[in-house]
Amino acid sequence: MEGIDGRLEQVDGDARFAEFVAERGEALMRYGYVLAGNPHDAADLVQEALLKVRAAWPRLRSKDNPESYARTTMARLHIAAWRRRRREQLTWEPPDREHRDALPSGDERAMWLALSGLPRKQRAVLVLRYYEQLDDAEIAKVLGVSRGTVRSQASRALDKLRAAVPAEWSAVGEGAR
């Protein structure tokens, strides 16, 4: 009888995992896109993270927030990727033709372009700070760096963004605070 109970538990766990993916998959893709800067890397991050979540599912399903585990896993996978490719410049399109993703129009376009031009570590720090609403200590823990590194990367990234966006737009952003 134990074999049957174990199989029933596995089927139930599979159904719960499938339900989790169906409910939170789009949110994880959006997070991956903001973190990675392109839909291809975002899809890879989500797939790799979901494989790890599935492997840990027996432990996670009793917890309140398996999505937090998935997001942390995605951030760590993203950081591991830029550590491996520090000096490489990867491109999705061959150099003989230009491709631009559809971006918001106007001033937001300048901000998105500036954000996508940041180094991966700086972009990861800003995404975790402003998109995930994490504080410096939490960001440092997720990225495996010191709090001072988080602050310096955030400062450098914000300086680059301020220099890259139109002056009239950054003045609007200052007034909104």
Structural domains counted in the chain: 2
Whether 161 is in a domain gets the answer yes
Q: Is the pLDDT of residue 176 over 50?
A: no
For position 60, what pLDDT does the model report? 78
Q: Rounded mean pLDDT of the chain?
A: 78
Co-location of 50 and 116 in the same domain: no
Co-location of 13 and 72 in the same domain: yes
Whether 68 is in a domain gets the answer yes
CA dist 23 and 167 (Å) reads 40
For position 164, what pLDDT does the model report? 77
Under 8 Å between Cβ of 47 and 54: no
CA dihedral (120, 126, 128, 132) positive or negative: negative
Whether 92 is in a domain gets the answer no
Co-location of 69 and 116 in the same domain: no
User: 50-65 pLDDT, tens per residue?
Assistant: 999 999 888 876 667 8
For position 97, what pLDDT does the model report? 59
Co-location of 81 and 125 in the same domain: no
What angle in degrees, to the nearest 10, is found between the helix axes of 66-84 and 39-60? 130
CATH of the domain at 116: 1.10.10.10
Tokens of residue 70, six digits: 């998935």
| Domain extent at residue 171 | 105-177
Q: pTM of the prediction?
A: 0.53
Query: Stretch 18-44: mean pLDDT, rounded?
Result: 92
User: 113-139 pLDDT, tens per residue?
Assistant: 788 889 988 999 998 998 888 999 999
Whether 95 is in a domain gets the answer no
